[in-house]
Amino acid sequence: MSTVITNIGELATNDPDRDGLLGLVTDAAVVVEGSRIAWVGPAAEAPDADVRVDAGGRAVVPGFVDSHSHLVFAGDRSAEFEARMTGQPYTAGGIRTTVAKTRAATDEQLTSHVARLVAEMRAQGTTSLEIKSGYGLSVHDEARSLAVARQFTDETTFLGAHVVPADTTPEDYVDLVTGPMLAAAAPHARWIDVFCEDGAFDVDQARTILAAGSDIGLRGRLHANQLTYGGGVRLACELGLVAVDHCTFLSALDVESLRDSGTIATLLPGVEFSTRQPYPDARGLLDAGVRVALASDCNPGSCFTSSMALCIALAVREMRMSPAEALHAATAMGAAALDRDDVGVLAPGKAADLVLLDAPSYVHLAYRPGVPLVAGVWQHGRPVVPG
């Protein structure tokens, strides 16, 4: 079955064969066949289709690609957030409180919780997402966390190296993560990740863990330079990882390494918003020629938002990205950060993942922060939010 979405006032395609960063087309139409895009161009030239959807002059953008989330967890940490907002700093140890709740939850409870969050994301325009483990921290609980995540996305990441559990030493835990835990997790994961930070894992431990993952075919990603300066970002660049996430505290050498390696800096401004940390220097990174993506980092501790539109608004308001750069970073660059070229771009042959905005322009995503602007979502050609 084919569908033509026509009378699109402004269409952001991210197609590099079109003009500008976003490849904008005005008075546009998109034809969808099955799960793929069949045609993009001026509405007046659009071919016929079985179903016709009138966008009413509103804007259409690619579905958001959220390349960093921690959705498999149980429990609530709103009290910790309230404490932090009234003067207590965030420390990595807060993760352990979620670990206890996650271990105590059944598979069914974890699955229904992830399903609820994925639906929440989809309703806000996210059509592709990555989900990490990292609140199990035992062989059994990491493997089942990833099995739960796999029901919702192919982009699953083993993050056994999130924090060292209270009942073991860092040395013993790295042995566990790189041995039996990795073996149990690998069948359910595409990626391996390490929280490389003071209070979590140092650069040498991160190198060891990523190498063990690489040996059995998992691709590396890294949480680095979130809370302080350190060698995590340079390790990611040295290893040629596709993306390194957070990048809040960067030296001039870190920025040079990112530029030279092509490793994408995935910025997670919802974290800084929710922890009152300084924001990453997105403007400086872009001006230096670094590739930048935006993601939510949706997690129960440091940032419990699932809204990519909020991330775009923060990137524009707080990090001096242009509205076009921010949308591109939340779509095409999110896809690049997952090494995917089938999503994040609206062009023939690509996945039909589209968002109809209740606005005349994509700029409204930043211009109208906090306003629910998503009027329709198509995921692989299927209308999942009524347009």
Find the shortest distance in angstroms from Cβ 245 to Zn ion: 6
Measured distance CA(16)–CA(18) in Å, rounded: 5
Find the shortest distance in angstroms from Cβ 94 to Zn ion: 13
141 contacts Zn ion (rule: CB under 5 A): no
Find the shortest distance in angstroms from Cβ 157 to Zn ion: 9
Find the shortest distance in angstroms from Cβ 303 to Zn ion: 8
Name which of 195 and 378 has its Cβ closer to Zn ion: 195
Name which of 254 and 297 has its Cβ closer to Zn ion: 297
Name which of 157 and 261 has its Cβ closer to Zn ion: 157
Per-residue string for binding with Zn ion, 69-98, x by CB under 5 A?
------------------------------
CB 139 within 8 A of CB 179: no
Name which of 281 and 297 has its Cβ closer to Zn ion: 297
Name which of 143 and 196 has its Cβ closer to Zn ion: 196
Name which of 130 and 297 has its Cβ closer to Zn ion: 297
Find the shortest distance in angstroms from Cβ 80 to Zn ion: 16
CB 366 within 8 A of CB 316: yes
CB 146 within 8 A of CB 207: no
Name which of 53 and 241 has its Cβ closer to Zn ion: 241
Find the shortest distance in angstroms from Cβ 313 to Zn ion: 20
10 contacts Zn ion (rule: CB under 5 A): no
CB 208 within 8 A of CB 178: yes
Single out the segment in contact with Zn ion by CB under 5 A; choices: 90-98, 297-305, 321-329, 348-356: 297-305
Measured distance CA(71)–CA(127) in Å, rounded: 15
Find the shortest distance in angstroms from Cβ 113 to Zn ion: 17
* Residue 89, φ and ψ in degrees, nearest 5: -70, 155
Name which of 141 and 297 has its Cβ closer to Zn ion: 297
Find the shortest distance in angstroms from Cβ 37 to Zn ion: 31
Is residue 109 classed exposed, middle or buried when 0-12, 13-18 and 19+ CB atoms within 10 A define those classes? middle
Residue closest to Zn ion, measured at CB: 297
Single out the segment in contact with Zn ion by CB under 5 A; choices: 44-52, 176-184, 295-303, 374-382: 295-303
Name which of 200 and 319 has its Cβ closer to Zn ion: 200
Single out the segment in contact with Zn ion by CB under 5 A; choices: 45-53, 173-181, 289-297, 322-330: 289-297
**How many residues of this chain interact with Zn ion, rule: CB under 5 A?**
1
Of positions 297, 314, 327, 381, contacts Zn ion by CB under 5 A:
297
| Site of interaction with Zn ion (CB under 5 A) | 297
